[in-house]
């Protein structure tokens, strides 16, 4: 079974040379730390920066340079700043190649819910609805089950949707799964995790074809 | 040169009254119009509708207006950093319209650019699209979203000149440029106000035509919400 860093490491392998990538808050933010250093990638943050770098050194933080998680950041050579309309032009106009975000629930048809628990948690969708409505390539990073042990990979989402039929791939602590027309297709198992354990933790339709290899992290 | 300079935040906010709709720039606490917000708090005007990506934190930014119950309705995309906001929203005291961040930006920009509405794919198939017109273009579904109408836009820039030209810094730019000229009156506050002719016209982000009043802001706190640093090896 993977921890959050393991999930981030596995997703980092999906990032291709030349990709512009938008990373959501939480596990997705960690992905930047594990991308191969022999490829060129630029990270976009939807509050208005392309070419995001690591956190600043202590004492060098600048209130005017933050990421979408409101964290202080730095920029790398080649970076640019822009306004919110232009930022979402990059996203809506499909100039950003890869979107990695977290989720509360994903359905077997690719629907995603990650912004609201009615009556309990209402923080808002931020840029998530724009991202999932437009991105060609969306990878969800999440735990396979919630704190109550219930599956987050469902037949249908029970929470208010963020987007419909948009998720392409899911990387969890247990598995790598592709979302297909016929349901969740199991691609890889996390180290030490059996196919049976993944089946048990998946409520939606799980397609298992042939031997399922263990992830190479 | 058409001079947009006013001498104080008081003069800049002249004409604000109860029941008005305001746009306020900023993302989180970055690039918020701190001086204008203080003036709004001090004015005691109420029943306001505020269009702003976030709602500040409990003791800073728009949180200060919320605390005094001056806001009737918020139009935002993310409000997760403010406990008082969440309390007022869940109890029904505060009317809240949550919309996608890109839609928020584009509804401002539409108002600025003279478009009555725009089609966006964001929110299609979700509760955000409920009751809204939808339409298919090239095999994909879109939602019709209307341009905002606002009485005042309060924005903050890094540098500005007497002609109202603005230059922003870093990610403090965010929603500020798209709100300029999107309301009846745009009020810009700047960290450094210089005479016309001082700024290089090549470097202007927002031309002064979109700004009605500009003033030199004071005592910027520029609070950081999430101070994240790494240690030197």
d(CA B156, CA B167): 10
Here the tokens at position A80 are: 């640019």
What is the mean pLDDT of the segment spanning A182-196?
97
Contact B154, B22 (CB under 8 A): yes
B117 exposed, middle or buried (CB, 10 Å; 0-12, 13-18, 19+)? middle
Instruction: For residue B173, list chain A residues with Cβ-Cβ distance below 8 A.
Output: 48, 81-83
What is the mean pLDDT of the segment spanning A107-131?
93
d(CA B36, CA B42): 10
Instruction: For residue A56, list chain B residues with Cβ-Cβ distance below 8 A.
Output: 228-230
What is the mean pLDDT of the segment spanning A79-94?
98
The CA-atom distances, in angstroms, between B232 and each of A58, B60, B159 are: 8, 31, 33
pLDDT category of residue A122 using cuts at 50, 70 and 90: confident
Res A158: pLDDT = 97
Nearest to A170 by CA among A150, A193, A186, A147: A186
pLDDT digits (tens, 9 = 90+) for A71-82: 999 999 999 999
Q: Among A60, A102, A130, A161, which would you mutate to test the B interface (most chain B Cβ atoms within 10 Å of its Cβ)?
A: A130
Residue of A nearest to B122 (CA): A130
pLDDT digits (tens, 9 = 90+) for B191-231: 999 999 999 999 999 999 999 999 999 999 999 999 999 98
Q: Please tell me whether residue A48 adopts helix, strand or coil conformation.
A: coil
d(CA A17, CA A40): 5
pLDDT lower than 50: segments of chain B = none
- Chain B touched by A58 (CB under 8 Å): yes
Nearest to B178 by CA among A50, A89, A84, A88: A84
Res A119: pLDDT = 81
Res B90: pLDDT = 83
Contact B180, B166 (CB under 8 A): yes
CB atoms A85 and B109 under 8 Å: yes
d(CA A146, CA A150): 5
Instruction: For residue B128, list chain A residues with Cβ-Cβ distance below 8 A.
Output: 125, 129
Instruction: For residue B223, list chain A residues with Cβ-Cβ distance below 8 A.
Output: 63
Q: What is the pTM of this model?
A: 0.96
Q: What's the CA angle centered on A181, arms A175 and A184, to 5 degrees? A: 15
- Chain A touched by B52 (CB under 8 Å): no
CA distance A114 to chain B (A): 12
Q: Across the interface, which of A62, A130, A161 has its CB nearest the CB of B170?
A: A62
pLDDT category of residue A132 using cuts at 50, 70 and 90: very high
d(CA B31, CA B25): 7
Q: Which active-site residues of A does the annotation give?
A: 46
Res A128: pLDDT = 97
pLDDT at A121 over 90: no
């Amino acid at each position: 079974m993977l921890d959050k860093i393991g999930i981030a490491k596995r997703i980092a392998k999906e990032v291709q040379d030349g990709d512009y990538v938008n990373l959501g808050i939480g596990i997705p933010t960690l992905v930047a730390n594990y991308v191969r250093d022999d490829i060129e990638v630029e990270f976009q943050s939807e509050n208005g920066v392309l070419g995001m770098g690591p956190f600043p050194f202590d004492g060098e933080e600048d209130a005017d340079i933050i990421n979408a998680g409101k964290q202080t950041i730095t920029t790398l050579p080649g970076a640019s700043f822009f306004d919110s309309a232009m930022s979402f032009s990059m996203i809506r106009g499909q100039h950003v190649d890869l979107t990695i975000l977290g989720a509360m629930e994903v359905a077997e048809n690719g629907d995603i819910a990650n912004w609201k628990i009615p009556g309990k948690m209402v923080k808002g969708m931020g840029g998530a609805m724009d991202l999932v409505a437009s991105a060609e390539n969306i990878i969800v990073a999440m735990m396979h089950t919630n704190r109550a042990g219930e599956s987050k990979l469902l037949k249908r989402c029970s929470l208010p949707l963020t987007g419909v039929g948009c998720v392409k791939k899911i990387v969890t602590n247990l598995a790598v799964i592709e979302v297909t027309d016929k349901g969740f297709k199991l691609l890889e198992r996390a180290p030490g995790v059996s196919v049976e354990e993944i089946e048990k933790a998946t409520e939606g339709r799980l397609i298992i074809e042939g031997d399922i290899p263990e992830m190479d992290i | 040169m058409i001079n947009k300079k006013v001498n104080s935040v008081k003069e800049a906010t002249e004409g604000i009254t109860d029941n008005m709709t305001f746009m306020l720039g900023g993302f989180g606490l970055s690039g918020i119009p701190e001086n204008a917000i203080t003036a709004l708090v001090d004015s005691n005007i109420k029943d306001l509708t505020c269009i702003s990506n976030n709602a500040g934190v409990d003791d800073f930014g728009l949180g200060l207006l919320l605390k005094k119950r001056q806001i009737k309705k918020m139009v935002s995309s993310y409000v997760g950093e403010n406990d008082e906001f969440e309390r007022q929203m869940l109890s029904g005291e505060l009317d809240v319209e949550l919309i996608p961040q890109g839609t928020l930006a584009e509804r401002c920009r539409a108002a600025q650019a003279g478009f009555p509405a725009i089609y966006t794919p964001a929110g299609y198939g979700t509760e955000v699209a409920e009751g809204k017109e939808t339409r298919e273009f090239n095999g994909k579904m879109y939602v019709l979203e209307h341009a905002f109408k606002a009485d005042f836009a309060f924005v903050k820039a890094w540098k500005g000149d007497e002609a109202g030209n603005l230059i922003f810094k870093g990610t403090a730019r965010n929603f500020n440029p798209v709100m300029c000229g999107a309301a009846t009156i745009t009020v810009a506050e700047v960290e450094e106000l210089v005479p016309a002719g001082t700024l290089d016209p090549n470097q202007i982000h927002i031309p002064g035509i979109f700004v009605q009043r500009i003033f030199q802001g004071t005592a910027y706190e520029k609070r950081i919400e999430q101070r994240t640093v790494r240690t030197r090896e």
